[in-house]
Structure 1
């Protein structure tokens, strides 16, 4: 006897888990396939940031995404018991006086007024002779806690299958997969979508990111510090520093050039000794227009893709999981800007 479910979710990163939350909220049955390998989401920094800190600009629907994320994390806490929001703001170290002036000018822009704090700060220990700008409403996600908490909940409820999804066992025309009868399949595979025969052609490109875990010899303020990359505490005396962006060196091992880049970047503003304890990397699924790719298969109307979350995986995953759910269940059209069909 086959088991009937409303949804099969393939992939266990931010896209898959935030979509699973929509199903829990709406009392839909589902299973989520997890290969057990750490996805790019699981090694991400977990930065929640409404500002592009290179040019001091914001992005499409930033305030809406921040508001929905905080609401959603509260809902997730109600059934996992975990508070995964770390309310520590980003402090951007200014390179020079021109950046200070640009920050102040941009803070008068209607879109940025709520995000760019006009009161500059001086941080102890680190080099910040031109002071720092604080990003209001920025925070971090407790990445390890978030995934551990949700995986534990899914496992207890019987929602989690720790196995590789086998495309050749999927029969969309009869809505069946192995021992399951389903209504919908959502593919949330990140770069793994390149192996998916139903959606392998979507315009997602890998962007390799490295980060290091370092042990600092001098204490720094308990905030998220940003210059070239992000620095913040992890506990147990370790700090996260990263991450890099590389579209060229896509091999599946550590790139020493990226590690050197990180060590150099940290040394620019942290003038004391530090030890690199660990190096990690992952492949972000990115899209040339920096918007996710979401939609329904041309031939099989029970197959969907949710991909291309890029460097803003937390905000994009949370916000657009709701859009995808409403598209499927309520027939509310997707925004043209994220639709799968926009590249056709």
Structure 2
């Protein structure tokens, strides 16, 4: 029997950032990964403190940005790679009214550090009313990030590539197969619906598609362009464009309507030919109040859930991994805004 402090079930942003907390604090653990690409692993990797539809910000945005940057430096120390891409978001304005609204919002104390007052014009794409730059925005090298962390865990014998079997948990003795554990953290995204211990948590699937395209005329700058969706360069002369949001078409194959939506969206501001090379989709676990769901099982004190990261998976996963860790190890109170108990009548 192997003794571990933690078992992590799930290999998306929630699981990986919680694993980072355990690495920092010298806790023993294993992570169970099915090996299928999670929604996190096909995500855009956008790090953005601003809601770009309304030019607003969100709860703890600055704290989350600061904490993420510190955490990525810590992760770089043991993986040997920097996964933060300094490519700020440039939001294409639809008209003069949006420009005026942006400037007005930039005077707001919550937004003045995020909304740049100087507008930019970007070559190649159509931006007749210029673009607004989101300060402190960036991207994560998603592919590199997961490969780097998984390689690190695998080399330490902490990554177990198999499906977790709930029926093999002995809750009375805190045993799972050959592991004697102190705590299990379920970080499964929409996979939680198959989890008999937490299947009733109120997360809803939001299906997102993105396309990888080859542009006939390349963009000069390594920036992230946003109009309806995000456009930015990848390796091998490809560009990422996405992603869509769909709460209704939840089948496990590509939606032609989503691909059409993306094709039309890109053509709106990119006036040259492009070819779609690849289409991907994933299911984001979302919550009606747009905040994560974190908490301990009511009957099994060694079981916790960390879910509902939604479209801000990187920021939520990183920041609230520390919140969950402190709750378990230091008896800190969970903020009621993320505590799963908020949905219990």
TM-score, scaled relative to structure 2: 0.99
The match for 2:261 is 261
The alpha carbon displacement at 1:138 in A equals 0.1
Q: Pick which of 218-227 and 3-12 moved more.
A: 218-227
Query: Residue in 1 aligned with 2:56?
Result: 57
The corresponding residue for 1:276 is: 276
Give the aligned partner of residue 331 of structure 2: 331
Q: Give 5+ residue unaligned stretches, structure 2.
A: none
Q: Distance in 2 between matches of 1:173 and 1:232?
A: 50
| Other-structure match for 1:250 | 250
Please give the residue correspondences for 1:70-85 in structure 2 after superposition, counting only pairs within 5 Å. Answer: 70-85=69-84
Distance 1:252 1:80 in 2: 33
The whole-number CA distance in structure 1 between the counterparts of 2:26 and 2:127 is 50
1:308 aligns with 2:308: yes
Cα deviation for residue 235 of structure 1 reads 1.6
Counterparts in 2 of 1:81-230, with a 5 A limit? 81-220=80-219, 221-230=221-230
Aligned residues: 343
**Structure 1 residue ranges, 4+ long, deviating more than 4 angstroms after superposition:** none
C-alpha RMSD of matched pairs (Å): 0.4
State the shift of 1:136 in Å.
0.1
User: Residue 120 of structure 2 aligns to a residue in which SS?
Assistant: coil
Deviation, structure 1 residue 290: 0.2
Matched residue, 1:22 = 21
Cα separation, 1, equivalents of 2:231 and 2:103: 24
User: TM-score, normalization: structure 1?
Assistant: 0.99
The answer as to whether partners of 1:191 and 1:206 remain within 8 angstroms in 2 is yes
**Cα offset, 1:270, TM superposition:** 0.1
Structure-2 separation of matches of 1:28 and 1:173 = 22
Q: Distance in 2 between matches of 1:177 and 1:279?
A: 37
How far did residue 219 of structure 1 move?
1.4
Q: Structure 1: where are the runs of 5+ without partners?
A: none
- Tell me by how many angstroms 1:260 deviates: 0.1
- Taking the aligned partners of 1:318 and 1:195, their CA distance within structure 2 comes to 25
How far apart, in 1, do the equivalents of 2:213 and 2:171 lie?
A: 48
Task: Specify the alignment match of 1:291 in structure 2.
Answer: 291
Distance (Å, rounded) in 1 between the aligned partners of 2:27 and 2:226: 40
Structure 1 residue 139: deviation in Å? 0.1
Contact 1:172 1:303 in 2 (8 A): no
Match of 1:238 in 2: 238
